[in-house]
Amino acid sequence: MALDADLLLNLAKDPAKDAWRIIIDQAVEIASRPLTEGKAATEVTKRDREIGALDHFLSSSGWDLWQVFGDPSRSGVERTADRLVRWWAEPAVGGGSAKAVLILDGLSLRELPWLLQGALARGFTLFEVAATASELPGETTAFAQALEFSSRSQLQSNGGGSTHRLAPAHTESADLPWRDCAALINSQPNWVFWHHWPDSKMHDGSGAGQGLDTLTRDAALQLTSDDFWFFVERLAQGRRLVITSDHGYAATGYFPDADGEVGQFLKATFASGRSLAGSADPGPFVPPVALQIDSPHGPHLLALGRRKWKSQGGYPTLTHGGLSLLEVLSPYVELSKDGG
């Protein structure tokens, strides 16, 4: 899909905040269209390519926009962790103070339709549907630390403590079946539950073939299941609930190969990953193929846009940590059930 000429002109000339608003609105509009299970794999791949046109703009001429990503005063795009903290402190609309956060590790905008369709079909009330920014790099531990947990595992068995940014809350981190997770939800008013799916599934299938197809089918199965929505209902019982993620993922199996000097540079710099800690040479390439980003997690060099390259053992077909929209945007869905 090529960008409309007027849209491209607006992106090129508008201030960063306006350009990011257009980009995010476009990405959410494309990703949130209704899905059916039978056609999901084909449709999600098509949407991935549509959003790729926005990625192409960001890597070919709009790469400076990444330097303000996640800074709401300059880009209008708020980091997920900061949005959660702000929401946690806000009075709940309609009364009540109990809240819960469900973090689905690695959930991307591709999975947003299942949340929206399932919530409406099962009698939930939707209050906000948006996209928020991952940490840079888009990694699990970076997000945990942005919430002032040492790691995802700290949340297990209510180990989150009282000094993190979503306190007070009962915490849990698990990769259990949804029904078993539901059984863990007790009467504590506030909850933060970090589930390892779909990231665990993503890495299971990232090494061979077109992993996006496999993950899309699994997402349709999981997010339309009675067990998943039973778990969500338990979390939302008497509580306002936000479902979000720490980061998304890039379907690198569909990315074009980086050849020649570009491919050699990316392989030597990133191996089979998409980020490198510290200050490093981004290479001589114009447009750039990597950007140096100074984030709250320190300086990192991040792979820019949609490219894959040869690496030992084969480059993964699903991964995260670089700069493309579907790996750095998280769905942010606020809902309740029965007045919660």
pLDDT of residue 124: 97
Residue 28 lies in a domain: no
pLDDT interval class at 14 (50, 70, 90): confident
Least confident segment among 15-24, 32-41, 196-205, 296-305: 196-205
Residue 113 lies in a domain: yes
pLDDT of residue 7: 74
pLDDT of residue 210: 65
Q: What is the mean pLDDT of residues 280-297?
A: 96
Q: What is the mean pLDDT of residues 34-53?
A: 96
Average pLDDT, the chain: 93
Q: pLDDT at residue 255 above 80?
A: yes
Report CA torsion sign: 155, 160, 164, 169.
positive
pLDDT tens profile 178-190: 999 999 999 999 9
Residue 32 lies in a domain: no
329, 107 Cβ separation under 8 angstroms: no
124, 135 Cβ separation under 8 angstroms: no
pLDDT of residue 1: 57
CA distance 71 to 86: 14
Kindly report whether the peptide bond that precedes residue 34 is cis, defined as omega within 30 degrees of 0.
Answer: no
Q: What is the 3-state secondary structure (H, E, C) of the chain?
A: CCCCHHHHHHHHHCCHHHHHHHHHHHHHHHHCCCCCHHHHHHHHHHHHHHHHHHHHHHHHCCHHHHHHCCCHHHHCCCEHHHHHHHHHHCCCCCCCCCEEEEEECCCCHHHHHHHHHHHHHCCCEEEEEEEEECCCCCCHHHHHHHCCCCCHHHHHHHCCCCCCCCCCCEEEEECCCHHHHHHHCCCCCCEEEEECCCHHHHHHCCCCCCHHHHHHHHHHHHHCCHHHHHHHHHHHECCEEEEECCCCCECHHHCCECCHHHHHHHHHHHCCCCEEECCCCCCCCCCCCEEEEEECCEEEEEEECCCECCCCCCCCCCECCCECHHHHEEEEEEEEECCC
Q: pLDDT at residue 41 above 80?
A: yes
Residue 145 lies in a domain: yes
Q: 288 lies in which domain range?
A: 78-340
Q: pLDDT at residue 335 above 50?
A: yes
Q: What is the mean pLDDT of residues 106-132?
A: 97
Residue 49 lies in a domain: no
Higher pLDDT, 64 or 92: 64
Residue 67 lies in a domain: no
* Burial label, 39 (beta-carbon count in 10 A; 0-12, 13-18, 19+): exposed
88, 166 Cβ separation under 8 angstroms: yes
pLDDT interval class at 340 (50, 70, 90): very low
Residue 235 lies in a domain: yes
Please state the domain count of the chain.
Answer: 1
Q: pLDDT at residue 339 above 60?
A: no
Residue 62 lies in a domain: no
